[in-house]
């Protein structure tokens, strides 16, 4: 029999950041809809996660009977948190999402391919010149950051502060158990909001063919988007546009380097690039969790979640569920046909708006990287970023030359 404590979702368990999947497996097998002592529920099987996301539940924290996030309660007026479409229910969600959907068409994204290929090749040139470098610093971070900055039409300034702030802001997507972290998140939110307001003012005088200009035009329409909402959508796109894809690329390359037969397979069969990215998303998911709030009793895995409850849908666990992906679910298999059913982008009304863009960036970056450097390998120890949700490496030393 398994000890009850062993079955608790506990990201503070030693070794969790290196490998959360052993813990997820125990939860799927032993307590697939867990009522956590910290006041939220944790859902871990594929079918349950998929149904939960499609059920059209609320995402608004105001529907919580008791907030497990008391620290954030005082932050009502400060920044962009809670005003983006990610945190809104219909009708606000429908209105905000439809504005951005117009710009993120499949066609518009596909047209970015030459630009993305150029950015990747420039990064690979730098890596070739250095011999040893950090994959996150050279490729996985700068690529999505440059692409989303250009799509939005951000002014060409030093982005290091924005990077720092968004790295803190995304901690709001985790269960925050201490006041210090909560305060840091609120401060980052306020500063990023202030920077974004300035950028919007600048853009009002420098309109161009970009997403910021299009959103400002929607704000002028009056009914469509108010000033605070405009800021919140820009912050969401800016942050979601790079804090996630960085992990798709880095976790994918990490998985390949640890599975040399799959690395060889991708080199020999470039036609597998698209399925390979689905498998990376499944195997080591860049976003490990998303959340919902119940407004009426919700039945899952033989249990009933009461109304007003915060529910974490564990995408990272669902993607490893043997019940859906088969007995080899914990193995990387780039030709796995079911990989395309991974739930890394969520599902239902909030399904990721940037999925096509992220897939394209991932495919172009990883396939060009492995073709260009047949000797690609680790040049030191990979370090994890220590995030419960947006999981990825913070240090990823690689070499592109033979070591012998």
Footprint on this chain of ligand HEM (rule: CB under 6 A): 53, 85-86, 97, 148, 236-237, 240-241, 244-245, 248, 286-287, 290, 344-348, 350-354, 357-358
Evaluate whether 186 touches 159 at the Cβ level (below 8 Å).
Answer: no
Burial 211-243 (b: 16+ CB within 10 A, else e): bbbbbbebbeeeebbeeebbbbbbbbbbbbbbb
User: In angstroms, what is the minimal distance from the CB of 402 to ligand HEM?
Assistant: 31
User: In angstroms, what is the minimal distance from the CB of 23 to ligand HEM?
Assistant: 20
The Cα–Cα gap between 234 and 148 comes to: 11
SS3 377: strand
- Which lies closer to ligand HEM via its Cβ, residue 237 or residue 273? 237
| Nearest Cα residue to 338 out of 365, 315, 320 | 320
**Sequence-ordered list of residues with C-beta below 8 angstroms from that of 25, at least 6 positions apart, any chain:** 317, 320, 330
- Which lies closer to ligand HEM via its Cβ, residue 240 or residue 376? 240
Q: How many residues does the chain have?
A: 404
Q: Which residue is nearest to ligand HEM (CB)?
A: 354
The Cα–Cα gap between 285 and 255 comes to: 11
Which helix (H) or strand (E) covers residue 398, if one does? Answer: strand 397-399
User: In angstroms, what is the minimal distance from the CB of 87 to ligand HEM?
Assistant: 8
User: In angstroms, what is the minimal distance from the CB of 93 to ligand HEM?
Assistant: 6
- Which lies closer to ligand HEM via its Cβ, residue 58 or residue 244? 244
User: In angstroms, what is the minimal distance from the CB of 242 to ligand HEM?
Assistant: 7
- Which lies closer to ligand HEM via its Cβ, residue 367 or residue 399? 367
Strand partners, 310: 40, 293
- Burial (CB count <10 Å: 0-12, 13-18, 19+), residue 103: middle
User: In angstroms, what is the minimal distance from the CB of 380 to ligand HEM?
Assistant: 25
Determine how many CB atoms are found less than 10 A away from the CB of residue 163: 13
User: In angstroms, what is the minimal distance from the CB of 53 to ligand HEM?
Assistant: 5
User: In angstroms, what is the minimal distance from the CB of 117 to ligand HEM?
Assistant: 17
- Which lies closer to ligand HEM via its Cβ, residue 165 or residue 357? 357
For the beta sheet containing 377-378, the strands, ordered from the edge strand earlier in sequence to the opposite edge, are 132-134, 397-399, 377-378
- Which lies closer to ligand HEM via its Cβ, residue 203 or residue 242? 242
- Which lies closer to ligand HEM via its Cβ, residue 165 or residue 287? 287
- Which lies closer to ligand HEM via its Cβ, residue 117 or residue 379? 117
Evaluate whether 362 touches 245 at the Cβ level (below 8 Å).
Answer: yes
């Amino acid at each position: 029999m398994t000890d009850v404590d062993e079955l608790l979702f506990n990201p503070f368990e030693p070794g969790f950041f290196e490998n959360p999947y052993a813990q997820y497996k125990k939860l799927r097998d032993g307590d697939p809809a867990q009522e956590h002592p910290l006041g939220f529920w944790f859902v871990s099987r594929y079918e349950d996660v998929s149904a939960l996301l499609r059920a059209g539940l609320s995402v608004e924290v105001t529907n919580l009977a008791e907030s497990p996030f008391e620290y954030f309660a005082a932050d009502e007026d400060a920044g962009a948190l809670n005003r983006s479409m990610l945190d809104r229910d219909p009708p606000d969600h429908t209105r905000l999402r439809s504005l951005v959907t117009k710009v993120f068409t499949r066609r518009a994204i596909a047209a970015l391919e030459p630009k993305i290929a150029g950015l990747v090749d420039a990064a690979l040139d730098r890596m070739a010149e250095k011999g040893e470098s950090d994959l996150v610093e050279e490729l996985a971070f700068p690529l999505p950051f440059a692409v989303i900055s250009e799509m939005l039409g951000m002014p060409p300034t030093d982005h290091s502060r924005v990077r720092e702030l968004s790295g803190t802001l995304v901690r709001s997507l985790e269960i925050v158990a201490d006041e210090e972290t909560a305060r840091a998140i609120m401060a980052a939110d306020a500063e990023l909001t202030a920077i974004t307001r300035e950028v919007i003012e600048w853009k009002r005088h420098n309109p161009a063919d970009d997403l910021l200009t299009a959103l400002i035009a929607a704000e002028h329409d009056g009914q469509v988007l108010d000033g605070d909402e405009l800021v919140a959508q820009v912050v969401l796109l800016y942050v979601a546009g790079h804090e996630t894809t960085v992990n798709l690329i880095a976790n994918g390359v990490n998985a390949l380097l640890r599975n040399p037969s799959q690395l060889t397979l991708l080199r020999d069969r470039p036609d597998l690039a698209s399925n390979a990215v689905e498998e990376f998303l499944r195997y080591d998911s860049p976003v490990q969790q998303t959340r919902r709030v119940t407004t009426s009793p919700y039945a899952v895995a033989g249990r009933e979640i009461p109304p007003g409850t915060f529910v974490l849908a564990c995408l990272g666990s669902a993607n490893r569920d043997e019940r859906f992906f088969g007995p080899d679910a914990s193995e990387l298999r780039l030709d796995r046909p079911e990989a395309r059913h991974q739930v890394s982008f969520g599902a239902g009304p909030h399904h990721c708006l940037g999925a096509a863009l992220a897939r394209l960036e991932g495919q172009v970056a990883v396939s060009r990287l492995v073709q260009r450097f047949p000797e690609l390998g680790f040049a030191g120890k990979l370090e994890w970023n220590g995030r419960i949700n947006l999981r990825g490496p913070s240090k990823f030393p690689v070499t592109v030359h033979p070591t012998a």
